[in-house]
Amino acid sequence: MRAEHLGQLCKRCSVHEATLTVRNEPLCKECFSKYIHTKVVKRMEAFRTRHASATQERKLLLPISLGVSSVTLLHILDRHLQGQKQKTGRVGFSLHVLYVRSPERTDDLAIKFNAVKEAYPNHTFSMIDLETLFTEKENLRTILDSLPSATSAADVLSILQKRLAVEFAKLHSCEGILWGDSTTKLAEKVLVETSKGRGFSLPWQVGDGASPYSIPFYYPMRDVLKKELIAHSRLTDPPLALLMDTRVFETTQAPPSAKDTTIDVVMKGYFEDVEQSFPSVISNVVRTTEKLIAPKAKEDVARCRLCVLPLPEGRSGVRDWGGHQEEQNEPDPGTRLCYGCSRSIPERLIPLLP
């Protein structure tokens, strides 16, 4: 966040001294916090108390990665619900916070999760291992050890984490899932998913509302940049940064070896650079993608065996998208993959998938 307006009065309240510059506006600490809070709460309009039933509580799942976006979202919604309770005596929804622990996650993140749980005691918290998605837990390790590249491993992990969150939300009767993706993260996702061959899924990956997983997805942080969230996390009292994965505050750098570099890391580093000088570019990427209309998926449509997304026009894998010119046998419906997933996981591993 730029600081060239330090020493001036805040442009919004004209009372306090500006502490940082946000999108060319010098703001004080209080007005900046209100700016972030308002951006998020406006996206929760459908869950105001006036829309809530007096007899049935609406429950939403909030998966957290212990990154800056998801922890900040929890913080803002916690304050928002407290405000609703004070004003009306009730809340518009309740939160169930989920942390999915992947094999590569370290114990210090579990400690961070417990710290988050203690900081926000008014909500339900769960921590589950990614292996629980599998009937045979060792299948996850077998799959990860057999993937062809770092990009494939990152891709498969991300997909499985989303699938587990969806199953968890349905099991616990959640009305929807709140994803903590910032504007910056959504822009990354647009280019990452397109480059992986899943451009058809962007309306579901970026837009609010119905998803092909039979549960709505919402992105309340969609109007806030990552750099703004990082600045906010350091200004709260106590600092939210203390509850987060410390890697959040490190500048993204590609590994020395191209073999260990993922497309996700490349795009993350790119947009971290872009948002410093050209934040409007990031916003335009997301807003343009929002205009895409998702095709209506029929109940009996063929689905990808890994990501479970509907297969566009019934096409599956590289074969149906023109990747092979030779004739091949029609794949078994239970082994079909979308083009993107067929590039990430070898066919021989499909039987191990949940």
- Residues 151-163: tens digit of each pLDDT: 999 999 999 999 9
**26 within a domain of the structure (yes/no):** no
**185 within a domain of the structure (yes/no):** yes
Pinpoint the alpha helices (H) of 60-200. 68-88, 107-119, 138-146, 150-171, 183-196
Check whether residue 277 and residue 323 sit in a common domain.
Answer: no
Check whether residue 189 and residue 332 sit in a common domain.
Answer: no
Overall average pLDDT of the 327-341 stretch: 72
Pinpoint the alpha helices (H) of 172-298. 183-196, 202-206, 226-235, 263-277, 279-290
Do 134 and 140 meet the contact criterion of CB atoms below 8 Å apart? yes
More reliable by pLDDT, 229 or 330: 229
The pair of three-digit structure tokens given for residue 97, joined into one six-digit string: 């916070």
- Please name the residues in contact with 45: beta carbons below 8 A apart, sequence gap of 6 or more: none
pLDDT for position 163: 98
Check whether residue 265 and residue 331 sit in a common domain.
Answer: no
Overall average pLDDT of the 286-296 stretch: 88
pLDDT for position 36: 97
* 285 has pLDDT over 50: yes
* 41 has pLDDT over 60: yes
CATH of the domain at 83: 3.40.50.620
* Digit-coded pLDDT (tens) for 235-282: 999 999 999 998 888 877 766 666 678 899 999 999 999 998 899 999
Q: Where does a domain end: 290, 321, 342?
A: 290
Check whether residue 322 and residue 285 sit in a common domain.
Answer: no
pLDDT for position 104: 76
**275 within a domain of the structure (yes/no):** yes
Overall average pLDDT of the 30-56 stretch: 87
Tokens 């292996």 belong to: 131
* 6 has pLDDT over 70: no
Check whether residue 203 and residue 339 sit in a common domain.
Answer: no
More reliable by pLDDT, 184 or 296: 184
Overall average pLDDT of the 138-165 stretch: 96
- pTM of the predicted protein model: 0.92
Backbone angles phi, psi at 11, to 5 degrees: -70, -20
Check whether residue 254 and residue 114 sit in a common domain.
Answer: yes
**120 within a domain of the structure (yes/no):** yes
* Digit-coded pLDDT (tens) for 83-104: 999 998 889 999 999 999 988 7
**178 within a domain of the structure (yes/no):** yes
Check whether residue 117 and residue 168 sit in a common domain.
Answer: yes
pLDDT for position 251: 79
Check whether residue 114 and residue 232 sit in a common domain.
Answer: yes
Check whether residue 148 and residue 223 sit in a common domain.
Answer: yes
* 325 has pLDDT over 80: no
**75 within a domain of the structure (yes/no):** yes
Check whether residue 122 and residue 270 sit in a common domain.
Answer: yes
Q: For residues 225 and 345, give the distance between their C-alpha atoms in angstroms, rounded to a whole number.
A: 32
pLDDT for position 326: 43
Q: Where residue 37 falls among pLDDT bands split at 50, 70, 90?
A: very high
pLDDT for position 55: 67
**302 within a domain of the structure (yes/no):** no
Do 218 and 173 meet the contact criterion of CB atoms below 8 Å apart? no
* 320 has pLDDT over 70: no
Number of folded domains that form the chain: 2
pLDDT for position 249: 84
* 327 has pLDDT over 70: no
Overall average pLDDT of the 290-312 stretch: 84
Backbone angles phi, psi at 126, to 5 degrees: -140, 140
pLDDT for position 317: 55
Q: Which range among 177-181, 182-186, 299-303, 321-325 shows the weakest confidence by mean pLDDT?
A: 321-325
**34 within a domain of the structure (yes/no):** no
CA dist 82 to 31, 74, 239, 279, 324, Å?
19, 12, 19, 32, 57
* 173 has pLDDT over 80: yes
Check whether residue 336 and residue 284 sit in a common domain.
Answer: no
Check whether residue 174 and residue 45 sit in a common domain.
Answer: yes
pLDDT for position 324: 46
Do 304 and 338 meet the contact criterion of CB atoms below 8 Å apart? yes
State the average pLDDT for the chain. Answer: 89
* 308 has pLDDT over 70: yes
Domain housing 322: 312-352
